[in-house]
């Protein structure tokens, strides 16, 4: 197992980061590193004498902030584009906050639904994800069902508007 402290503390000795353009170069500035399919770059570490493959957003964040990402924190992209490693697009948040962001994304993307009950006329099913569990609520009153749906929609929209940019 590689010593991550050794690898991360020496990033600035091997790599340059252009925070405005969102590009990572070798220390001489002559080679621009391209991201692979998993948004990682590969560089040679002279201390460990190994090829190192790290997430580009982590490299960018650690070089820019001149410190390692604290334990329990996760990086996310404010515009949801993992290829965009400009520093104004990368943020570090605690894992719990990251889980809340992902839950809001999942709810707005696919999980939050209001649909007719298949067996009982005039009943609606409200479905959403909360604390990694899929919740289902059967509601008879259409006005109340729509009210609860809108309340959840607003809740998850507010979460994303706090952490994401368009």
Average pLDDT over residues 88-95: 97
pLDDT confidence band for 98 (50 / 70 / 90): very high
Residue 1 has pLDDT above 70, yes or no: no
Q: What is the pTM of this model?
A: 0.84
Calculate ∠ Cα 114-120-126, nearest 5°: 20
- Rounded-to-integer distance, Cα 105 and Cα 153, Å: 11
Residue-wise pLDDT for 132-166, tens only, equals 999 999 999 999 999 999 999 999 999 999 999 86
Run of H or E residues at 45: strand 40-45
First CA to last CA distance, the chain: 39
Residue-wise pLDDT for 38-54, tens only, equals 999 988 877 778 888 89
Mean pLDDT of the chain: 91
Cβ atoms 4, 12 nearer than 8 A? no
Instruction: State residue 46's pLDDT score.
Output: 77
Instruction: State residue 8's pLDDT score.
Output: 57
């Amino acid at each position: 197992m590689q010593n991550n402290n050794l690898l991360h503390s020496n990033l600035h000795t091997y790599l340059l980061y252009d925070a405005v353009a969102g590009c990572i170069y070798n220390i001489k500035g002559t080679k621009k590193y391209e991201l692979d399919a998993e948004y990682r770059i590969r560089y040679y570490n002279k201390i460990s004498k190994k090829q190192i493959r790290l997430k580009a957003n982590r490299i960018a964040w650690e070089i820019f902030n001149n410190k390692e990402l604290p334990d329990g924190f996760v990086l996310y992209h404010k515009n949801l584009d993992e290829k965009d490693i400009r520093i104004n697009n990368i943020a570090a948040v605690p894992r719990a906050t990251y889980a809340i962001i992902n839950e809001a994304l999942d709810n707005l993307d696919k999980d939050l639904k209001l649909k007719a009950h298949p067996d009982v006329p005039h009943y609606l099913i409200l479905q959403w994800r909360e604390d990694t569990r899929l919740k289902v609520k059967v509601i008879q009153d259409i006005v109340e069902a729509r009210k609860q749906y809108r309340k959840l929609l607003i809740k998850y929209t507010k979460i994303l508007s706090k952490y994401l940019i368009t």
